[in-house]
A and B are shown apart, each in its own frame.
Chain A
Amino acid sequence: MRRAAAINIIVDSSDKVGGDQYRYIAEKSVEDLGIGGSVETIVLYIRPEIPLFIISIRYRDFRGKNTIGELASIDARTGSIRIRLDSEIDLGDALKVLWSEYGRERVEQAGRMEIVVQGVEPEEVQQIKIREKAVDISSRISELSSRIIPEGFRVRSVKRGENMLTVIAAEDPIKEEWKAEALKIEAMGNA
């Protein structure tokens, strides 16, 4: 099983207990969204007394794998093939596509991560796409930021860079000095 590299979470908070709690919220939100493998660094700058909350997320560009050849290993047998998926997450999508392609009578789920298809060649199955679109990581990163930012901080300024998202959240119109602060925070994430 592949393990995701540890995420680096940096918290700069004027409220110690609140800062620790937001580190925990960030960790769990990444886990809930299933993007642990894509997020590299999260920097949180928390100043409830202003009030100001800046979050900067650096992530890896993720090209979603979507053909069966990329997602599974295929064993050829006489008259059938056995598809062994790398991840259980893909099972539903793979079954759906194979059923519509070859019909239910030729496709059988042999185990938790195994599918047997009768009367096909491995080369043919390898090219089948199990989903049309690759997973869009940037929308999940936006979702992550909105899950972490406290709800009361409703005035927001979003800056997207290459593999980077920075959000300044406050209750007042965003000031230039906060944007300058956000640049420093981005730099912390890059270090």
Chain B
Amino acid sequence: MLKFLLFEGGLYKHELITDFLEDVGGFIVQKTVAGLDLIMNLAVPEEELGRLERIVAEVKGKITIAPLIGVEVAVVAPTLSRHHLPHPACDIAENLRRHGAKTNILGLARGVGQKIVHSSPKERELIEEHDIAVFTLGNFEQCIKGFKIPLFKDLKIPVIVTGGPYLDSLPECQGYVGGIGRYPERARTGEMIDKLKSVSELAGKVAEERRRELDLDPLVVEPTVVKEEVERQVPEAREALSPNPVTLKIDGVRIKLPYLEYKDRISDMVVQGKRLGDVASIKRSLMRDYVLVKIYPQSMLQKVK
């Protein structure tokens, strides 16, 4: 299984790391250079971690395990109004990004109230395009327990819920973090930042679990390999203006290019000797017409055959 890591260090001698990754079948997911500083999101086979640590120590860098790298998280607010945005949703999203995740904030049309609360099939489908969803709910226990659960019940992806009241647990979700309800200013205190961190840590655990599950029935090709191949074979993907134009997901990639124009080229790409269209579903994303590639697990491919 690949382990995802955040590298922080200098540019000097960083080729040692890139060469090592090439040798052992690891990947650079994202590379950011700021002056002489370098931040890289890396994926490395679990068994090679020790050797990588030695190289990193040699170049005087630092690595941190960041399971949220390569995970696309939807932060779902009950609406897009000022009552629920920007503070709770943006704070949570920012903290998730600090832990390596790629986040998208979604506002439901009618996620508020007790009687009108509702999510449409299209909204649910859009949320399910992500790997994990974080629902940021309000301050009333009665509202959350009694009326908001249908918002995330039966979603096909893991869900984490945040809200004001401190609850031991909440049904139909993978975890609940209390103390982050509706609040009117940016989280600045240590106490609030700890709560945001606990959301990211929980999301990290959920991502790790999902990857362990996938390990039992591995994907036909690794999403990291698909990402590299897309960037190599469809160079326009690198130049798209959207942030993170080829976004890595746990079981695929989101390519930020227009679907109709690129679907055939992407389907016909050959990755590790296989045509991508044969080993993955390639569909139009509900988000701005992007291309969504979901790689089949090996068991499913056998069924397809």
Q: Which of A's residues lie within 8 Å of B, judged by CB?
A: 15, 17-18, 21-22, 24-25, 28-29, 32, 48-49, 51, 147, 150-154, 171-172
17 examples of A-B residue contacts, CB within 8 angstroms: A18-B141, A21-B181, A25-B182, A32-B184, A48-B140, A48-B141, A48-B143, A51-B113, A147-B82, A147-B83, A150-B138, A151-B84, A151-B112, A152-B113, A152-B114, A171-B115, A172-B115
Q: Are B113 and A15 in contact, CB atoms less than 8 angstroms apart?
A: no
B165 interface contact, C-beta 8 A: yes
- Tell me how far the C-beta of A147 lies from the nearest C-beta in chain B, rounded to whole angstroms: 7
Q: Are A151 and B81 in contact, CB atoms less than 8 angstroms apart?
A: yes
> Which of B116, B140, B165, B185 is the one whose CB lies under 8 Å from A171?
B116
- Tell me how far the C-beta of A20 lies from the nearest C-beta in chain B, rounded to whole angstroms: 9
- Tell me how far the C-beta of B143 lies from the nearest C-beta in chain A, rounded to whole angstroms: 6
- Tell me how far the C-beta of A51 lies from the nearest C-beta in chain B, rounded to whole angstroms: 6
- Tell me how far the C-beta of B279 lies from the nearest C-beta in chain A, rounded to whole angstroms: 45
Q: Number of residues in B with C-beta < 8 Å to the partner?
A: 26
- Given contacts A25-B184, A32-B184, whether A171 and B142 have CB atoms under 8 Å apart is no
A51 to B78, CA, bound (A): 17
Taking A18-B181, A147-B83, A150-B112 as known contacts, 7 extra A-B pairs with beta carbons closer than 8 A to each other, sorted by chain A number, are A17-B139, A18-B138, A18-B165, A48-B143, A151-B79, A151-B113, A152-B114
| Residue interface mask B82-102, A partner, CB < 8 A = 1 | 111000000000000000000
- Tell me how far the C-beta of A158 lies from the nearest C-beta in chain B, rounded to whole angstroms: 18
> Which of A21, A24, A152 is the one whose CB lies under 8 Å from B117?
A152
- Given contacts A17-B166, A24-B184, A25-B182, whether A153 and B139 have CB atoms under 8 Å apart is no
A49 to B143, CA, bound (A): 8
> Which of B81, B84, B116, B164 is the one whose CB lies under 8 Å from A18?
B164
- Tell me how far the C-beta of B144 lies from the nearest C-beta in chain A, rounded to whole angstroms: 10
- Tell me how far the C-beta of B168 lies from the nearest C-beta in chain A, rounded to whole angstroms: 14
Q: Are B83 and A21 in contact, CB atoms less than 8 angstroms apart?
A: no
| Residue interface mask B179-205, A partner, CB < 8 A = 1 | 001111100000000000000000000
**A48: which B residues are within 8 A, CB to CB?**
114, 140-143
Rank and list the top 8 A-B pairs by shortest CB-CB distance, nearest first: A152-B113, A152-B112, A28-B184, A48-B140, A18-B139, A21-B139, A151-B112, A18-B140
Q: Are B112 and A51 in contact, CB atoms less than 8 angstroms apart?
A: no
**B181: which A residues are within 8 A, CB to CB?**
18, 21
Q: Are B112 and A49 in contact, CB atoms less than 8 angstroms apart?
A: no
Chain B residue at smallest Cβ distance from A48: B140
- Tell me how far the C-beta of A62 lies from the nearest C-beta in chain B, rounded to whole angstroms: 23
> Which of A17, A29, A32, A171 is the one whose CB lies under 8 Å from B113?
A171
- Tell me how far the C-beta of B149 lies from the nearest C-beta in chain A, rounded to whole angstroms: 15
Q: Are A151 and B114 in contact, CB atoms less than 8 angstroms apart?
A: no
Chain A residue at smallest Cβ distance from B166: A17
Q: Which of B114, B182, B184 has the most CB of A within 10 A?
A: B184
**B139: which A residues are within 8 A, CB to CB?**
15, 17-18, 21-22
- Given contacts A15-B140, A17-B164, whether A51 and B114 have CB atoms under 8 Å apart is yes
A90 to B115, CA, bound (A): 46
**B82: which A residues are within 8 A, CB to CB?**
147
- Tell me how far the C-beta of A175 lies from the nearest C-beta in chain B, rounded to whole angstroms: 15
**B116: which A residues are within 8 A, CB to CB?**
152, 154, 171
- Tell me how far the C-beta of A47 lies from the nearest C-beta in chain B, rounded to whole angstroms: 9
- Tell me how far the C-beta of A14 lies from the nearest C-beta in chain B, rounded to whole angstroms: 8
A150 to B117, CA, bound (A): 13
> Which of A49, A51, A151, A171 is the one whose CB lies under 8 Å from B83?
A151
